[in-house]
Amino acid sequence: MARVVRLGTADVVFPSPDLQQIEDSAQLLPVVTADGGVALRERFFRDGFVYLRGALGRDAVRAARAAVVAHLAARDGVLVKGSAHALEEGCGLGCLPFMEGRNDVTHHPAVAAVLEGAPLRAAVGALLETAELRTFDYKWLRAMPRKSFTGAHVDAVYMARGSPRLLTCWVPFEDAATLELGALAVCKGSHAAPELARVRDTYGRLDTEAEPGFVGSGWLTEDPRDPALPPPARQWVSGDFAAGDVIIFGMHTLHMSTANLTDSVRISCDVRWQPAAEAVDDRYVGTQAELLEKAAQRKKGGAWVGGAGDGADVTMASLRARWGL
């Protein structure tokens, strides 16, 4: 049955040409031992991602979510007392705690068992064709309130100073991560679509921290129908996800999210993996103290690059004008 959901800032019908059902590739996991992961990699190289339903184990992710909910519930004014989902009236980004980095909740044993556990390691290893892997110590654990969403972007603009084979794994910490609660959407084939070559050669080469004067989130756009994304290459896919699911994608795959239109919190985490033998982006590895010190020395907190605000700042709009996008 068709539903109207909000993708970025646009209301779209699901399923429709604006937002299609994501394809599950979990059936390719049992054959990894037999074919060496060839089929899984072929799907990844074709689409720029693989979606693996239930691959991480439902019970393991439920335990991880319970640890995060306990962390949120310990703070006054966040969750309705006795609820694992409902937010107190008026609780938005300002009252939800910032949980990214390396800290007691990102590295809680139950959370680490999911983000650094054997099931995820095996899937990543099959894609990268190596068992010698490393993951960033920094984890992007987030609790998202009503109306919040993530705009369209590629991860290369934030973390391209190490291995080009760095992968992002999006893990929903929900029994029912519906489109209305907020879910990841990926632009199928955007990592290689000929129509997006200019986007990749301009925006895709941006380093948000190295660009002089840049301020902003690093998002290319908040509009899934942006003219820079012509229809032949504009294939947004998503769906309703559940605990145990994971989407794995590369640094040049465009992605965004649907907006949380409920009064409940949506919890998810991005975790990055790469071959252990390859260069690593030093900004995201180290002890908790080291990561805090690195963050303090940078002009970037989370995904936002701050500036002087004196009118001379470089914005995504000005960069797009320079690039002809």
Asked if 134 and 276 count as a contact pair (C-beta separation under 8 A), the reply is yes
- pLDDT per residue as tens digits for the range 38-88: 999 999 999 999 999 999 999 999 999 999 999 999 999 999 998 889 999
The closest of 156, 153, 107, 148 to 267, measured between CA atoms, is 148
CA distance 303 to 217: 6
Residue 242: give the domain boundaries. Answer: 3-323
Tell me: pLDDT of 311 over 70.
no
The dihedral through the CA atoms of 223, 229, 235, 238 has a sign that is negative
The dihedral through the CA atoms of 298, 299, 302, 303 has a sign that is negative
Residue 42's SS3 state is helix
Asked if 233 and 190 count as a contact pair (C-beta separation under 8 A), the reply is yes
Q: How confident is the model at residue 296 (pLDDT cuts 50, 70, 90)?
A: confident
- At 2, list the tokens: 């068709």
The closest of 167, 142, 158 to 257, measured between CA atoms, is 142
What is the number of structural domains in the chain?
1
Lookup result for tokens 């941006």: 206
Percentage of the chain modeled with pLDDT above 70: 96
- pLDDT per residue as tens digits for the range 84-100: 899 998 898 789 999 99
Beta pairing class for 266-275 and 140-144: antiparallel
- pLDDT per residue as tens digits for the range 232-255: 999 999 999 999 999 999 999 999
Q: Within 13 Å of residue 164, how many CA atoms lie on the same side as its CB?
A: 3
pTM, two decimals, is 0.96
Predicted pLDDT of residue 82 = 86
- pLDDT per residue as tens digits for the range 198-241: 999 999 999 998 898 898 999 999 999 999 999 999 999 999 99
Lookup result for tokens 């989407």: 247
CA distance 1 to 21: 12
Predicted pLDDT of residue 5 = 98
Predicted pLDDT of residue 33 = 81
Residue 142 is inside which H or E element, if any? strand 140-144
The CATH number that applies at residue 189 is: 2.60.120.620
